[in-house]
């Protein structure tokens, strides 16, 4: 049900690198193939200048929909770290005073594996009370803290806010936004429309996403709860006025735009 007291905020999430983690910790930091609710709410909280200990109760109530305009590719970063003072690394063990101890035998170099999406583009739609989403849209255009797409090392490119829309369902909101893919991706699609994967928050959804944060407080850590979601496909114009013929003089047959591996993020 829609009404005049709600509105929809639309965001463009694009960058050379994005990483939408979840419960993964320690030396292997994975990424989801789409932006998570935890990551998107973190971006909004940073834009407003909220402290990590601040309540997220109002943000958690927002309904999230995500459209995959350009899935990107998966990148694995082999990352090493050490103490700049030349000291052994800290271990996971603590002493009687609760202090971490040094590794025994001493270990001077650690390894982490971090995963990113490279050259991906998404459209996020957030539906909620009009007053709240209007404040969030203003904050995204004039953020207090730098915005990032999942990790601090992943700043967005181009404008993030695509503005506000009158209240409507997440499905319809995602259908109305023009295709946001880059030039190269656009050149690969020859039709007047393209079909894009989307995921929307829906109490009646048949899938579950474990990505709703309770806090961003570093002292307590974040615990994630579930939300029901629904997967769908939306068709949007490509901007072409007529289908392009890739080889008009050779008799070549144009390949269909549908990508059967899109759901896998390939």
- Structural domains of the chain in order of their starting residue, each with its CATH number: 6-74+117-239 (3.30.70.2660)
pLDDT of residue 209: 95
pLDDT of residue 158: 92
pLDDT of residue 218: 84
> Quick check: 65 and 170 in contact, CB under 8 A?
yes
φ, ψ of residue 16 to 5 degrees: the values are: -60, -35
pLDDT of residue 76: 93
pLDDT of residue 21: 85
pLDDT of residue 23: 62
pLDDT of residue 123: 98
**pTM as predicted:** 0.83
Q: Mark 71-95 as b/e (b = at least 16 C-beta within 10 Å).
A: bbeeeeeeeeeeeeeeeeeeeeeee
| Largest CA-CA distance found in the chain, in angstroms, rounded | 80
First vs last C-alpha separation in the chain: 35
pLDDT of residue 94: 79
pLDDT of residue 68: 98
pLDDT tens digits for 210-243?
A: 999 999 998 888 899 999 999 999 999 998 887 7
Task: Residue 31: name the closest of 80, 72, 78, 74 by CA.
Answer: 74
Which residues of the chain are under the pLDDT cut of 50?
A: none
């Amino acid at each position: 049900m829609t009404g005049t007291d709600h509105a929809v905020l639309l965001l463009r999430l694009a960058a050379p690198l994005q990483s939408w983690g979840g419960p993964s910790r320690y030396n292997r930091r994975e990424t989801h193939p789409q932006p998570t609710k935890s990551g998107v709410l973190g971006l909004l909280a940073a834009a407003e200048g909220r402290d990590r200990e601040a309540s997220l109760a109002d943000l958690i109530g927002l309904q999230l929909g995500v459209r995959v305009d350009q899935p990107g590719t998966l990148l694995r970063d082999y990352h090493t770290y050490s103490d700049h003072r030349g000291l052994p690394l800290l271990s996971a063990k603590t002493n009687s005073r609760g202090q971490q101890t040094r590794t025994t035998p001493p270990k001077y170099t650690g390894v982490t594996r971090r995963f990113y999406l490279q050259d991906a583009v998404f459209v996020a739609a957030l539906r909620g009370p009009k007053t709240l989403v209007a404040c969030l849209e203003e904050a995204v255009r004039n953020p207090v803290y730098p915005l990032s797409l999942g990790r601090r090392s992943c700043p967005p490119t181009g404008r993030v806010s695509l503005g506000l829309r009158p209240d409507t369902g997440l499905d319809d909101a995602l259908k109305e936004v023009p295709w946001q893919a880059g030039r190269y991706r656009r050149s690969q699609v020859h039709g007047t429309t393209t079909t894009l994967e989307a995921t929307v928050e829906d109490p009646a959804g048949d899938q579950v996403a474990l990505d709703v944060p309770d806090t961003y407080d570093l002292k307590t850590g974040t615990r994630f709860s579930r939300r029901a979601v629904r997967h769908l496909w939306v068709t949007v114009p490509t901007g072409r006025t007529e289908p392009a013929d890739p080889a008009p003089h050779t008799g070549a047959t144009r390949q269909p735009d549908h990508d059967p591996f899109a759901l896998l993020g390939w």
